Structure 1
Amino acid sequence: MNITRTNVDALNAVVTVAVSKNDYASKVEKVLADYRKNALIPGFRKGAVPMSLIQKQYGKAVLLEEVNKVLQENLNNYLVEEKLDILGNPLPKVTEDFDWNKEDFTFDFELGLAPEFSVDLSAKNNITAFKIIADDKMLNDQVERIQKQYGKLISKDTVEEGDDLNVTFSNEVNGINSTTSISLDVFKDKKTAKKFIGKKVGDVIEIGTKGLFDDDHKLMDYLKVDHDLVHGLDIEVSAKIEGITTSEKAELNQELFDKLFGEGNVTSVDGVKAKIKEDAEKQFAQQADQKFLNDVTEFLLESTKFDLPSEFLIKWLQNAGEKPLTEEEAREEFAKSERGLRYQLIEGKIMTENNLQITFEDLKAFTSELIKKQMAQFGQMNPTQEDIDGIVARVLSNQDEVKRLSEQVMSEKMLGLFKEKVKVKTKEVSYEQFVKEMYGE
């Protein structure tokens, strides 16, 4: 068998595979001999059917199958031996006058080659790494929220200042129908809050959404409005009062501290705030890391330039899925997936150049920590290592879970590498400031 490659350009090539009779003949003969041993044809004893009859009945189908096996095996070996980095799969070039009655065959395959490019993690950029802090306002609000949550709830008939309301916001035209709990101090304009004073359960108040809250993003929480619509939204909504309650705040004492954090773990209000700050900033760090990862990804996509074998990939996409696509559909699919493919190539380059690998020990350690956190959420604070190891073994026996967890481990490794090598400015912000930065405001 002879295999040659012709480079069309830097991103496209044609591989020609010449298959001679010597490459497949013995395999075809063996298969036909096995057919003959087991063939049941009227007029002949089992195993005594003439080979000419077997050849006539099965020969062409067996020839096609065995030639294809030899072809695919040798083509795959060639791609590995030549260390060709290809995109998609080889595409056979259709020959209209192909003759299967010959003894020697020639097959051409189109290849889409991965581009050559470099990734510069240290290049100049405009990325900001945020450190989100739980400021005094947030801590005080959280303490007050805890006092109300653990305080005594009293139902009322009439709204007064300081009450909590269960309200259904609705606007049929805009598809708004959201029931939520609010306190009157959530409204930016005091005139809006005053509209509720003196109202009773079942009353409906008409209010405008423009400037309703100090941050338009709160429309997402209270009215369930999509982010793309919240900025400057100026419509009227009906607010129906479903319930009125006031809360007699819980006393900040040791009994409450023990209920919240376990006996003796926290002994003062300052201790409560310290614990809230610690827990909140752990969550904030995850959000800041995700934004950092997203921003680095965008930077790499913008700064790393290379061409793709687009026409080849469009042609490949036409028959890559279960359902064949038209050329137009394949072009649309390519347009949707191009950025993802580009980042996949960039990420692969970074992983190779920085020797980022996932070991089974990495996977076990990550899964173990994940399980400990999940168990802690359900009050199991001190599970035995034996219990943890048993759960880890069960989880990692599922290939889908292994794939999902592997992606998370690699994401963490990439994050660590980016923090080490991408030069960025850092900025300390409150959570409210971070939300504004997150949405580019």
Structure 2
Amino acid sequence: MFVLYSIQTQLNQLVANISVNDSCEAAYNKFIKHYDKQTSNESKEIFCRRLQYIAENGGKLHNHSDIAFNSPLRPRLRQSSSTFAPNCLYELCFGSDPLKPLTHIYKSVSLTEAGLSTPPKAQGDCGSCWAFGTISIFENSVLRQQPQPPFWGKNVDLSEQFLMSNSFAYMSSYCAGGDFVFAANYFNEFFQTVEKEENFKYDYEKNEALWKAETEIPPVIQAENYLKPYQTVKIAGYPSLSTPVVGIHTDTTKTFSKDTIWQIKSYLSRGIAVSAGMYTKPFGDALSTYTGQSSIHQHCPGDFTDHQVSFVGYGYKNNEEVWIIKNSWGTEWGANGYLFVPIGKDSFCLERYAYTVLPIGFKFSEGVYENIGSHKRGSIFELDPDEGERVKRPVQQWVIWASVIGSLSAVGIAVWVFFLCSKSKKSKKSYKPIVIDSAVEIMR
């Protein structure tokens, strides 16, 4: 049984003719040669541990199987209780969610199918997930923008390096970690525009010295093409201050309610991606070797987040309801760079954090985004197919009980009033017999 499983794993999941029966040294040498990498004791140790995990549990190798994916813990988010205006570089600033939940949403949504999500990129051995997560939301916002800006077009590829190199706040700190909420607020205050990847290619090692010296890098694009790809909203509690960040679920100590899940689905059905946070540290080997052919679940141990990702879809995978999560570990990893996790289980602590921005030109009254995908599918890395159906928001249980109780109360009150009126009539001297034609009168 083990031999058959190993052969299947070797044929379908591994690279460079590596076998789970190879020695650590032999497999690592094949891997390094195949991807033209530099050797190191640290990367070798990581690679060999991943290969052993695959031999025991199944999984796959990819071009970053020797990287630990440095994801430093981000500062725990909090909202200021101060009576003074908040400092959005160090305090949690966001606007209240202005959108009402849709009454009907798509049964399944993939923003990739809809052309509203760019291909996942690779952050490498740098804790820059915050930059990739932020740019992912900005790219979606540009693609969703109405009308579409001609200069940016449909082939949107924004520069994470430009964001990283010009962010000098502790909460968005190059390879040392960061967070979408702080990064978006910093961008809104200090940046004039997003930039194209072709003008500032991702190379964190080459550009780190300039960042440490706080050397600002100006944009290359012309001023007439400058773009901040979002609307601003008022900061909760401070009507004179604005922010690009909309808070959908802001308390990381609590998991998503059914209403929150529906609201995130409503955003995705409108074609708007949502920023997410997850916890990866205890699950590094399981995540790194994830095949992408089904969903993956790990129990959340508590209020933890150490990795920035994005909600870019939902639906069913192998008849299980799942979120589609866009990651920053490259397209060889997982489902072409994406992750499927069950909905409603708080897998990897993913259901504790949800923020986004509203694209320019988006109207609060808009319904579902039309022509959001073919829904036919067929790849092992896609959702189950459907016909593009829409589903109605389920009636909440408390609404049903309130309706039942209200109806019973109304009947009771009506009977009581009728009884009093009847008694009052009988007490009068001018009382005359009446025809008995109601169930209440018959029962007396």
Q: What is the TM-score of this pair, normalised by structure 2?
A: 0.19
Q: Which has the larger radius of gyration?
A: 1
Q: Which has the higher strand share?
A: 1
